[in-house]
Amino acid sequence: MNSFRRILLTAAFGLLVGTVSAQSPEDSVTFAHSRWNEVFREEGITVRKCAVRLFNSDQQIVCMEIDPQLYRFDVVQDSLREKVSKLAKKYEADAAINGGFFKVRTPLAIAVGYIQIDCDSVPQLAGNYNGAVAIDTEGRISVIPWNKKMKTDPAYVDLFPDILTAGPLLIDQGHVLPKWDETEPRHPRSCIGSRTDGSIILLVVDGRQKDADGMALCELARVARWMGMTQALNLDGGGSSALWSRQKGVVNSPCDRGLFSRKERKVCNAIIVTKKE
């Protein structure tokens, strides 16, 4: 049994008797035995896809596992909104995922929520989010709880040159936070999280298309936990959801349509992954 399959089985069956699986014990078993197709693998990065029926809905899930010993993370934002793929290429990244929320109906890149890059403030509007990604000077990334007071706390803003708030926080110290809500709407979703072994997970759930219904936040949180994440944060979703790799380009199916195919939406910022020197 490979390590990825072992993680799924351990996490899913370990939660069968807990509150996470109380709403859908069959789903956790289905997920644990789901078939994942490997898109590509290189040293320190593996991308897998899965098509599975969960929560009485059709789901298309893409997962990127990253070894933080080999790769560093950064938040990037330019003056204008841009596609994740173009941001990643500009900053010579190996992989990238869309970042936080932003002001729409403008070509300008204006984040909603607190954001700093290289300890400097960038264009932003106030936003009330309970989670953040925080990246230290060595490019190590953490998913942490967040509140407004922390943006003036030197323990955070000086220790972490890059901070990007988003939300909600899905998992904190292994505990799933969103309560089960069967009325919550489904959308494409993006998520970042970490496991106890230190590996970083970038996760995208496609939606608004055939065979891809998207997920409610409470569903996304449970899938993240079934995948072994002990910390997880919801990023911007909908048409913004995009997961990119240097080898394969955009590896999920964005919900926006172009003239002949699916297309990326221009976003405000991205979290990029770059091989360490």
Bigger pLDDT: 258 or 12? Answer: 258
Question: pLDDT tens-digit profile of 193-202?
Answer: 999 999 999 9
pLDDT computed for residue 25 by the predictor: 76
Highest mean pLDDT among 25-34, 160-169, 261-270: 160-169
What percentage of the chain exceeds 90 in pLDDT?
Answer: 86
Question: pLDDT tens-digit profile of 87-101?
Answer: 999 999 999 999 999
φ/ψ of residue 243, rounded to 5 = -120, 120
